[in-house]
């Protein structure tokens, strides 16, 4: 009876050892997943900050453009078309740069 109980306890010990090994592997897998998610979250945070910065810059450009439109006479813009063109080109170039950076 003691031998039978001993064999039963040894079998239980082997089963627990197997379960422990499987759970250890799962823990390692979950820890790796957690690290990957933290990296992805950090990347998303950086992207979010960059996009917020771009939106702020676009709003600033829009405000500057509106204030320049109000401060310059329409007659000056008509006689010297380069003034409006230069400003528009500057805005377009800045928008293109921001789009290039956001793609990267």
d(CA 31, CA 60): 43
pTM to 2 decimal places = 0.53
pLDDT > 90 in the chain, percent = 44
Contacts of residue 6, Cβ cutoff 8 Å, sequence gap at least 6: none
For 19-47, write each residue's pLDDT tens digit: 999 999 999 999 999 999 999 999 999 98
Give me the phi and psi of 80, to 5 degrees please.
-125, 85
CB 94 within 8 A of CB 57: yes
């Amino acid at each position: 009876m003691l031998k039978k109980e001993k064999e039963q306890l040894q079998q239980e010990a082997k089963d627990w050892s197997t379960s422990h090994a499987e759970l250890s592997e799962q823990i390692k897998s979950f820890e790796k997943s957690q690290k990957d998610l933290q990296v992805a979250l950090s990347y998303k945070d950086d992207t979010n900050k960059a996009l917020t910065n771009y939106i702020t810059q676009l709003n600033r450009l829009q405000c500057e453009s509106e204030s320049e439109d109000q401060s310059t006479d329409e007659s000056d813009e008509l006689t010297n078309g380069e003034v409006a063109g230069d400003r528009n080109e500057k805005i377009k170039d800045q928008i293109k740069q921001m789009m290039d950076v956001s793609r990267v």
